[in-house]
C-alpha cells in the first residue's frame, strides 16, 4: 500500500488546543506536515455552515477530528446532553463538511468507551455493538459510535479514505486537571499534590479501587495517528492502546509515589466504579509497526512536571466552561 498522506500535506487538526489535538499538532509539524488550526473563538465546530466555509477556504489535504466535549464520570453524569449533542454536532459538521469540500483523507478519534461494559478482554474491534454500554458515559459513547458509523457510511457510499481510531485512556501535557471534569489520572495527580501540600493524612478515592484501566501517553497516540494517516485504510475502528493495565488502587499508589504523597489511600465504595475492566486488543495496529514508547510511571512523572512548570492549570472542559 502506498503512502496515503505524503509529507508536506496540509492537515487541519480540529481540537488543536486539547490534550489529543495539541500532541498531534506537535507530531505532524515535527514530521514535516503543514498544520492548519482554528481556535474555538474563531470557529465553532458545532456550526455546520461556518465549518463548511472554513474547510472550503482552507482546503486541507486531510482532517484529524480530535475535537470533543469530554470528561470523567462526574462530568458525564452532570452534563449528558452536552456530551451527546455537542459531539454529534461537531462530528456532523466536520465529517460532512470535509466530504462536501473534497477532503479525501480524514481520521476520526473516538474512545474505548464505545465498547460494551462487559466486553471480553482484551477488547477487540469486533466487540462494537455486541452488548450494553457503561451507563455512566453512555451519551458520550453513543455519540462516538455515531461518528464511527458516519465514517463508514462515507467510505461505503462515496469511497472516501476516512478512518476511525479508538484510543484507550490518555494522559500527558495539556490534560484537564479540573477536579469536577477531569479523567482519573490527572485528577489523581492534582489530588495527591494538593494533599501533600496541605499535609492531609489521607486521600479518599472513588469506588472500590478494583477496576482495571489501561493508559497511553498522548505522545504515543500522536505517533500512532501519523502511522494511521500514512498507511491505514480499512472499515471500522482500530484500537490504539498500551497493551497493559492496572487497578485504580495501583494507579493511585503510583501517582502518590511520583508526587511524593506519603499519607494513607482509602476508597469510598459508595461511589461508582464504572466499567470493571477496559483493556484494548491492539494487535491490528501493532501489525502496522507501531508500539508505545513511554512507560506509565515515566509518563506520569513527565506529566506532573509539565503541570507544575505550566503553573498548575486546570483546563476546564467545554461542558463546564459554558456554565
Domain assignments of the chain as residue spans, ordered by start: 10-321
Q: What is the pLDDT of residue 2?
A: 57
Q: What is the pLDDT of residue 174?
A: 92
**Which one, of 143, 51, 59, 147, lies nearest residue 97 by Cα?**
51
Number of alpha helices (DSSP H) and beta strands (DSSP E) in the chain: 11, 12
SS3 label, residue 31? coil
* Residue 2 annotated in ligand binding: no
Q: Are 277 and 121 in contact (CB under 8 A)?
A: yes
* Residue 133 annotated in ligand binding: no
Q: What is the pLDDT of residue 111?
A: 94
Please enumerate, as own/partner, the contacts of 272-276 that have beta carbons within 8 Å and a separation of 24 or more. Answer: 272/73, 272/136, 272/206, 272/207, 273/206, 273/207, 273/208, 273/210, 273/211, 274/73, 274/134, 274/136, 274/137, 274/207, 274/211, 275/113, 275/117, 275/134, 275/211, 276/117, 276/118, 276/210, 276/211, 276/212
Q: Are 7 and 61 in contact (CB under 8 A)?
A: no
* Residue 213 annotated in ligand binding: yes
- What's the CA gap between 66 and 89, in Å, rounded? 14
Q: What angle do CA 82, 83, 85 make, to 5 degrees?
A: 60
Backbone region of residue 204 per phi and psi (left: phi > 0; alpha: psi in -120 to 50; beta: other values)? beta
pLDDT tens-place values along the chain, 323 residues long: 457 999 999 999 999 999 999 999 999 999 999 999 999 999 999 999 999 999 999 999 999 999 999 887 788 889 999 999 999 999 999 999 999 999 999 999 999 999 999 999 999 999 999 999 999 899 999 999 999 999 999 999 999 999 999 999 999 999 989 887 788 999 999 999 999 999 999 999 999 999 999 999 999 999 999 999 999 999 999 999 999 999 999 999 999 999 999 999 999 999 988 888 889 999 999 999 999 999 999 999 999 999 999 999 887 543 333 32
- What's the CA gap between 180 and 69, in Å, rounded? 14
The values of phi and psi at residue 155, to 5°, are -65, -45
Task: Tell me which H or E stretch contains 11.
Answer: strand 10-14
* Residue 283 in grid coordinates: 494487535
Task: Look at the block and give the residue holding cell 497493559.
Answer: 244
Residue 220 makes CB contacts below 8 A (sequence gap 6+) with: 242, 292, 293, 294
* Residue 21 annotated in ligand binding: yes
Q: What is the pLDDT of residue 322?
A: 30
**Which one, of 225, 218, 239, lies nearest residue 65 by Cα?**
225
- What's the CA gap between 238 and 37, in Å, rounded? 25
- What's the CA gap between 273 and 271, in Å, rounded? 7
The values of phi and psi at residue 80, to 5°, are -60, -35
Burial 170-180 (b: 16+ CB within 10 A, else e): bbbbbbbbbeb
- Other CB atoms within a 10 A radius of the CB of residue 160 amount to 19
pLDDT in tens, 26-53: 999 999 999 999 999 999 999 999 999 9
Q: Check: pTM over 0.85? Answer yes or no.
A: yes
Q: Which residues pair with 65 in a beta bridge?
A: 14, 108
Q: What is the pLDDT of residue 274?
A: 80
* Residue 169 annotated in ligand binding: yes
* Residue 168 annotated in ligand binding: yes
Q: What is the pLDDT of residue 149?
A: 98
Q: What is the pLDDT of residue 316?
A: 55
* Distance in Å from the first CA to the final CA of the chain: 48
Catalytic residue list: 140
- What's the CA gap between 249 and 199, in Å, rounded? 21
Q: What is the pLDDT of residue 321?
A: 32
Domain 10-321, CATH: 3.40.50.720
- What's the CA gap between 240 and 257, in Å, rounded? 27
Q: What is the pLDDT of residue 317?
A: 42
Amino acid at each position: 500500500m502506498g503512502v496515503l498522506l505524503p509529507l508536506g500535506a496540509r492537515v487541519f487538526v480540529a481540537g488543536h488546543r486539547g490534550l489529543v489535538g495539541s500532541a498531534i499538532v506537535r507530531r505532524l509539524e515535527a514530521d514535516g506536515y503543514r498544520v492548519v488550526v482554528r481556535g474555538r473563538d474563531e470557529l465553532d465546530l458545532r456550526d455546520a455552515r461556518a465549518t463548511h466555509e472554513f474547510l472550503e477556504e482552507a482546503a486541507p489535504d486531510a482532517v484529524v477530528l480530535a475535537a470533543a466535549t469530554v470528561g470523567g464520570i462526574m462530568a458525564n453524569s452532570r452534563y449528558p446532553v452536552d456530551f451527546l449533542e455537542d459531539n454529534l454536532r461537531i462530528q456532523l459538521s466536520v465529517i460532512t463538511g470535509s466530504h462536501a469540500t473534497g477532503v479525501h483523507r480524514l481520521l476520526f478519534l473516538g474512545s474505548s468507551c464505545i465498547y460494551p461494559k462487559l466486553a471480553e478482554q482484551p477488547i477487540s474491534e469486533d466487540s462494537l455493538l455486541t452488548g450494553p454500554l457503561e451507563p455512566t458515559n453512555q451519551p458520550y459513547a453513543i455519540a462516538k459510535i455515531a461518528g464511527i458509523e458516519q465514517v463508514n457510511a462515507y467510505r461505503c457510499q462515496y469511497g472516501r479514505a476516512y478512518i476511525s481510531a479508538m484510543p484507550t485512556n490518555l494522559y500527558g501535557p495539556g490534560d484537564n486537571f479540573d477536579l469536577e471534569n477531569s479523567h482519573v489520572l490527572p485528577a489523581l495527580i492534582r489530588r495527591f499534590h494538593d494533599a501533600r501540600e496541605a499535609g492531609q493524612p489521607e486521600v479518599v478515592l472513588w469506588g472500590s479501587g478494583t477496576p482495571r484501566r489501561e493508559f497511553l501517553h498522548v505522545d504515543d497516540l500522536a505517533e500512532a495517528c501519523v502511522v494511521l494517516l500514512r498507511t491505514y485504510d480499512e472499515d471500522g475502528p482500530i484500537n490504539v492502546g498500551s497493551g497493559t493495565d492496572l487497578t485504580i488502587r495501583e494507579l493511585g499508589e503510583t501517582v502518590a509515589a511520583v508526587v511524593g504523597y506519603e499519607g494513607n489511600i482509602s476508597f469510598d465504595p459508595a461511589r461508582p466504579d464504572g466499567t470493571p475492566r477496559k483493556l484494548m486488543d491492539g494487535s491490528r495496529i501493532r501489525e502496522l509497526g507501531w508500539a508505545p514508547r513511554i512507560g506509565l510511571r515515566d509518563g506520569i512523572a513527565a506529566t506532573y512536571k509539565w503541570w507544575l512548570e505550566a503553573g498548575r492549570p486546570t483546563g476546564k472542559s467545554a461542558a463546564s466552561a459554558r456554565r
